Structure 1
C-alpha cells in the first residue's frame, strides 16, 4: 500500500503496520497501569510517611495513571482501525493518520509530566522514608518513559522518508523517471548519498565515485516508481512462497500419474508475468566432450579455494583449524614471505586454506593475490598436474568492495576478437575481468606456467562474482588461447546479452544448484519480481498482519499440507484496479492466449498474466532492461532429490540435468535461495552428482 503521510511528510511505514506494535504497546501499558494502580492502592499509606512532598507524589501518580489510561484507549482504537481492510485497500484505514496524530500529541503532556516529576525528584521536593515503595515506583516510571521517548525518536529518524513522490507532470509523460529528468536525477542523487553513508568509512579509492553513481542508478531504476514499504514486500514474499508451494504440489501430483515428466522447479510464472523479451534459441550442436560433472566437481575445489580461510572454516571451526595448521606460516609479516603471494594476512591463512582444499604444493602455485578493491578481485594461478591444466581461479563476493562490484549491474559492451557484434556483459564484472587480465599480462603468470608445462591447457574458473568475471576473462583471452575452458559456478543471471551468451556455449560450462538466487538475478528478473509483488498485493484479500503472522509460522514450522489446502491468499486480479498506481495503463491483465480481460470468478491466477500496453511499448520498459541478460554457456542444473520438509536444503542427495536458460529467468522465493549459493553447498552437490555420473558410466 502507499506509504503513510502524516504531518505532510512521507514515512517508511503503512497504515496497516500498527497492529503488532500497537498490541505490544497495549500489553506493556496495560501491565504498567495495573502495577501502578495496585501499588498506589495498597501503599497509599506510604505517602503519609514522606517528610515533605506527599501531595506532589500523589498528584504525580494520579496524573501518570490518567495519561497511561488515555494513551491505552487511543492505542487500542489505533490497532482496531489499522487491522481493517486489505493490504492495498486503504479506505477502511483512512482514520489511522488522524489517530496517529492524536497518539503523538498525547506524548507531549506525557513528556512534560515526567519531566516535572524528574525535577521534583532531583530537587528533593519529594522526600520519603527509606523502604517506601512509591518513590521507587516514581523513579522506575520515569526511566521507562524516557527510554520509550528515546526509542520513539530513533524510530522517527529511521522511518522518515526523504524520497519525494511528486505526481506526474502529464498523463502521457513517459519520461518522467528517465535518468536525465529532474525526478530521475533526484532519485539517483538520493541513493548515491545512501551508498556513501553506508561505505564512507570502508571504501575510499579511485573507482568508488563512479561505482556509487552506477549502484545508485540501479537502485533508483528499481524503486523510483513504486510506493511500498518494507512490510508490504515481506508480505508479498510470503504470498509468492505460498503460491509456489501450491504449484509444486500440483506438479508433484502430475508426476505421480506421469513418471516421464522432467524434473523442474516451479517459478510462479503465472503471477503477473511480464511479456517475454525473447529467449535463447536451443543450440543444435552437441555438447563438448570436456563438459562433465566429475570435471566440474574437480575445478569447483579451485573456485572454493580462491575464497581462502573464511568459507573453509565456516561450520567446522575446530576440524578446519587442524587441517590448516600444517600449512600455516606464523609471523610471515616479519619474515620473508613467498614471492608468489601478495597481501595475505600475517599467518598466511588464505594460502594455507588454498593448499588444503586443492592439495597443491608451493611448486604448483604460480601467483596469488588477495588485493581487493572495487572492480579489483583476488585470484590465483596454479598448475594442476592431475588434469594437465593451468588454472586461473577468481574469488567471489567476500567484502563490501565486491558487493559494490556486484551491484554495478548495468551492461557494457565487450570488445574482443572473435565475438560477434552486440555482445554486452555486466559492467562491474567486465571491469574486474580487465583488472585480472592486466595483472596476468604484467606478471606473465599464465604464460610462464604454460611454458613450464608444455602441452597443458588453460582453465578459468570462479564462483558467483568470480564466475561472472571468469566468463568475461575467458572471452578476452580466447583469441590468444583458443582451447581454454571456463567453469562458472553459480554465475549471476544478468551477465551476458543474447549474442554473448550464444558465443560462450562452446567454452563455458555453468553450474547452478537448487533454488540459488544469484543465477536468477538480473535487472530484468528484479523488475519481473517487482510486478509479481504488486500483483499478489493487489489480489490479496487478507490483512497484512495475518499474512506476516503466517510467514513467521511457516518460517518456524514449515508449510503444512493443511495450510496449502486452506490458504486462499492469492486470487484472480481485479480488472478495475491497476497493477501500478502510477503506471497510467502501462500494464494490463489479460487471459493467457487471448488478449481479453479475465472473467472474474471464472479463472484462477494461473490463467492470468500481465502484459505491456501496445501504445509506445518500448518507452515503458524500465531503465537498464533494454538489453535482456542471460546465463553463459551450457548449464548443468543440480536439483535436491528430497523435499524441503525432509531435508535442510544443504545436504543429502541431488539429481542433475542439463538445463535451458529459460528455467532461470525468474526469481524463486524459497527458504534456500541464499543457502544454495554457498560454495560448500555447490561443492557438496557436485560431489554427489559426480558419484552418480561415475556409477552410471
Structure 2
C-alpha cells in the first residue's frame, strides 16, 4: 500500500509484495546455479581432454566437412564442430553469469522491500528501479535458455557427452524448470495488471481542456470500474443463464463492488494483511471491553448459561431449542444430496443408495419433483436429511438460477406441521443473488410503510410465491392435512427468504411460524425487522460472518482495515507470517501491543478507549475514511438489518486452567439487530455458519441441559 507504479501505470501489487516471491526465486536460483556450475565444469573438462586440436586431429573434411575435430572415446567417436563447442561454452558461461548476477540483486530487493511499515512507502522507494533492473536481466536470460533448449531438445547442435548422464539430465531439467518459472512470472504479471491503472493518474478534462473537479473524476472511475467488473462476470460466469434477471444480477454486483473499492489504493495483499490486523485489533478491543466491563460493572446485556431465565419470559412458547434442532434438519433437507454428503459422507452415501430411484428419467415423470437428476438424488437427500418417507415429500423444486432458489414442501407428522423448506446459497447463481443488495421496496401485511428489503431476496420471494400460487399448492396441501400448521424454515439465504415468504403468507395462514438459521444481515429495514419478531425465530451461532455481512458492514470493515494498515508498525511480510502462526497457535498477548505504534488511544465505533492509534493519526484517517465512505455510499440508502427474534449462542470464554479441565460450555442471550452490524474477523467466522456446526451446538446444549435444567427439554 499504495499500489506499485511501474511503466507509468498502477499495478495490483505493492512494493512490499515481492518479499516472498524473491525469497522463493533466490532459493531455486542458488540450486539452479550449483547444478549448472557442475555441468559447466564437467563439459569444460570434456572439451579440454577429449577434443583434439587442429594440429593433432585427423583431417576427414573430405567425408564429413570442414572445421571438424575428432574426439576418441572409449567406445565411440564423438564429432563436434568448433561452432557447436563455442555455442555450448557461450550458453553455459552466459547462463551461469546471469544467474550469479540475479542472486545478489534478489537479495537486495528482499532487503529493500522488507523495510518500513506497510504504509511507509518512502522506505521502499528503491524497489521500482530494482524491478526495472530485474526485468532487464530477464531478456538475456530468455535468450540463453533458448540456446539451452536448442542444444538439449533439438538436433541443431551436434555435440553431446553421451557418457555424462548427470550433466545432460541437469541441463534438460533446469531448462524445462526455467520455462515453467517464466510462465508463472508472465501469469503473475497478467494477474497484477490493472486495466484502469493508467487512468488512475490522469485528470479528466472537459472539451475545453480544463481539468474537472475530483467528484467528476471519481464518478468517471466508478463507472469504469463497474463496467470492468461487469465484463469480468460475463466472461468468467458465462455458464449462468443469460436473461434479464442474470443481467440485472451482474449489473448490481458490479455496481456494488465498484462502490466498495473505487477510491481506495489497496491491493489484494493489503486486504489479507488488513484482515489479519483486524483480527488482532478486535481481540485487543474485546479484551479491553471485558476488562472495563468487570471494573465498572457495566449494565449491558449479558450472556447466560441459565436457559430457564432465557426461555421463561422473553419469547413465545414455540421458540425453543428443541424445536430449532428439529426444524434445522428440514432446513438442511432443501439442499438435497450435496449438503447431506458434505455433512456425513459415509453415512449419507449409505442412506442415499437405499433411497435413490435408478433410471428415474426413463420412468413416467413425477409432477411433484421438478428439475431433479436422473436418479432423483436430490429428493433422496431431502428424505435422508429430514427423516421423512417418500410419501411425505409433497413437492420439491430443485430448479436453480439467478433469483430462483430451490425449495420443498414436506409433511411433518411428529409436529403436525407442513414444512416449507427453502435452500440457502449453494451455487454461482446464488452468489449473484446475494450480491444484488440494492434496497427494494417491500409490501407485506402488517409491515410499516417505506419498508425496504434486499433486492435479490425480494425477487426470490416473488418467484417462490409465484410457484406456490400456480396450482394453489399450499392451499391443497393444508386441506389434505387438517389441523396442521404451516412452518417455514431455511438456512443462510434460505432463512432470509423464509422470513419474507412468511411475512407475505402470515395473514392467510394462522399460527404461521418461521425458523431461520444463520439468517443474513442486510435484509430488512429496522421497523420491519422488529415486526418479524412476532413470527420468526432466528438462531445465530458464534462468530457467523453471514449474520453480520451487509453493505454497511463491509464498508465499515474496509475503513477499519485502512486504519489498521496505517497504524501497524510491522512490515507486511511479518504480518502475513504472523497470520499463519495465529491460525495454528492463536494470538499471543504480546502481539496485541507490539503490532501497533506506541500510542495511547484510538477511536472505535462505540467511542470506547483503546490503544491502537494516536489522536493525530485518528484525525487523518477519520477524515480520509469519511470522504471515502461518503463517496461510495448513498446517504439516502436505507440501512438494512438481520430479522426475527434473534437467539445468539456463544462458546463461553474460559480461563487457562478451565481450558485444561472443564468441557466446552455455551451461553446465549436474546440479541438485537444492531449487535450484528459489525463484520468481525474471527477464526470461526465461516465454520459457525455451516449447518452441521449449528446442529452440533444445539445438540450439545440440549444434552447438557437434559438433566441439569429445571425446565423440561421441550421448553428449551
Structures share a fold, TM > 0.5?
A: yes
Distance in structure 2 (CA, Å) of the matches to 1:404 and 1:623: 21
Q: Does 1:145 align with 2:183?
A: no
Indicate which of 373, 376, 392 corresponds to 2:401.
373
Structure 2 counterpart of 1:494: 522
Q: 1:405 aligns with which of 433, 442, 452?
A: 433
Q: Distance in 1 between matches of 2:643 and 2:500?
A: 10
1:360 aligns with 2:392: no
Question: Shift of residue 100 of structure 1?
Answer: 0.5
Q: What's the counterpart of residue 207 of structure 2? A: none
Residue 156, structure 1, aligned to residue 184, structure 2? no
Q: 1 or 2, which has the higher helix percentage?
A: 2
Aligned partner of residue 658 in structure 1, secondary structure:
strand
SS of corresponding position for 1:629: coil
After superposition, residues 146-295 of structure 1 pair within 5 angstroms as 146-163=179-196, 164-166=199-201, 173-174=214-215, 176-177=217-218, 181-250=219-288, 263=302, 287-295=315-323
Deviations 1:91-132 (A, max 9, x none): 011111111111001101111222234345524334124112
**Matches of 2:605 and 2:516 in 1, distance apart?**
36
SS at match of 1:496: coil
Q: Give 1:568's aligned residue.
A: 594
Match of 1:345 in 2: 373
Taking a change above 3 Å as real, the CA distance of residues 573 and 430 of structure 1, as seen in their structure-2 partners, is farther
Q: Which moved more, 1:519-528 or 1:84-93?
A: 84-93
By how many angstroms is 1:590 displaced?
Answer: 6.0
- Residues 632-647 of structure 1 correspond to what in structure 2 (within 5 A)? 632-641=643-652
Q: Deviations over 1:655-686 (max 9, x none)?
A: 22211222211011111111111111112222
Contact 2:538 2:643 in 1 (8 A): yes
Q: Which of 89, 104, 123 pairs up with 2:120?
A: 89
* CA distance in 1: counterparts of 2:203 and 2:646, whole angstroms: 44
Partner of 1:415: 443
SS in 1 for 2:533: coil
**In 2 relative to 1, CA 79–677 (structure 1 residues): closer, same or farther, beyond 3 Å?**
same
After superposition, the C-alpha distances for 1:201-232 in whole angstroms (9 at most, x for unaligned) are 34434421111001111111111111111111
Secondary structure of residue in 2 paired with 1:520: coil
| Cα 1:306/1:287, change in 2 over 3 Å | same
Cα offsets for 1:381-408 (capped at 9, x unmatched): 1222222222111000111111111111
Cα deviation, residue 4, structure 1: 0.8
What secondary structure, in the 3-state scheme, does the structure 1 residue paired with 2:355 have? coil
Equivalent residues of 1:422, 1:499 under 8 A apart: no
State the Cα distance separating 1:643 from its structure 2 match: 6.0
1:30 aligns with 2:30: yes
- Bigger mean CA offset, 492-501 vs 361-370: 361-370
| CA distances 1:172-198 after superposition (whole Å, capped 9, x unpaired) | 744654xxx432221111111111122
CA contact 1:501–1:633 (8 Å) conserved in 2: yes
Contact preservation (8 Å) 1:410, 1:427: yes
Report the count of equivalent residues: 655
Work out the CA distance in 2 between the residues paired with 1:30 and 1:40: 15
Give the distance between the partners of 1:616 and 1:227, measured in 2 at CA: 14
Distance, in Å, in 2 between the alignment partners of 1:320 and 1:259 is 48
Give SS of 1:531's match: helix
| Whole-angstrom distance in 2 between the partners of 1:43 and 1:527 | 63
| Post-superposition offset of 1:602 | 7.4
Q: Deviations over 1:434-455 (max 9, x none)?
A: 0000000013221111112223
Match of 2:45 in 1: 45
Map of 1:124 onto structure 2 = 156
Do the aligned residues in 2 keep the contact of 1:294 with 1:693 (CA within 8 Å)? no
Which piece of structure 1 moves more, 536-545 or 658-667? Answer: 658-667
Unaligned runs of 5+ in 2: 51-77, 205-210, 305-312, 712-716
**Residue 100 (structure 1) aligned with residue 131 (structure 2):** yes
Q: Is the 8 A contact 1:381 1:445 kept in 2?
A: no
State how far apart, in whole Å, the 2-side matches of 1:616 and 1:103 are: 38
What's the counterpart of residue 655 of structure 1? 667
CA separation in 1, counterparts of 2:625 and 2:247?
39
- Mark the structure with the bigger radius of gyration: 2
Offset at residue 564 of structure 1 (A): 3.9
Instruction: List per-residue Cα deviations over 1:630-674 (Å, max 9, x = no partner).
Output: 111210111123669999xxx954322211222211011111111
Matched, 1:525 2:563: no
Q: Distance in 2 between matches of 1:603 and 1:366?
A: 63
Name which of structure 1's ranges 303-312 and 350-359 shifts more when overlaid on structure 2: 350-359
Q: Are the aligned partners of 1:539 and 1:573 in contact in 2 as well (CA < 8 Å)? A: no
What is the distance in 1 between the residues matched to 2:508 and 2:675?
33
Give the Cα–Cα distance (whole angstroms) in 2 for the partners of residues 631 and 464 of structure 1. Answer: 11
How far residue 254 of structure 1 moved from its aligned partner, in angstroms, is 6.7
Residue 636 to residue 172, structure 1, CA distance change in 2 (3 Å): farther
Q: Cα gap change, 1:612/1:665 in structure 2, threshold over 3 Å: closer, same or farther?
A: farther
Change (3 A) 1:628 1:523: same
Structure-2 separation of matches of 1:149 and 1:471: 53
Q: Residue 696 of structure 2 corresponds to which residue in structure 1? A: 684
CA gap of 1:350–1:244, structure 2 versus 1, over 3 A, is same
CA-CA distance at 1:502 after TM superposition: 1.9
Question: CA 1:112 to 1:142, structure 2 compared with 1: closer, same or farther past 3 Å?
Answer: same
TM-score (norm. length: structure 2): 0.84
- The residue number in structure 2 matching 1:579 is none
Measure the CA separation in 2 of the matches of 1:202 and 1:615: 37
Preserved CA contact (<8 Å) 2:599 2:614: no
Separation in 2, partners of 1:638, 1:598: 26
Determine helix, strand or coil for the equivalent of 2:668.
strand
Summarize deviations over 1:10-34 as a string: whole Å, max 9, x none: 2111100111111111111122212
Match of 2:685 among 656, 673, 679: 673
CA distance in 1, matches of 2:507, 2:193: 54
CA distance in 1, matches of 2:630, 2:521: 24
Point out the more displaced range, 471-480 or 514-523: 471-480
Given that 2:486 and 2:511 are in contact with CA atoms closer than 8 Å, whether structure 1 keeps it comes out as yes
- Calculate the TM-score normalised by the size of structure 1: 0.86
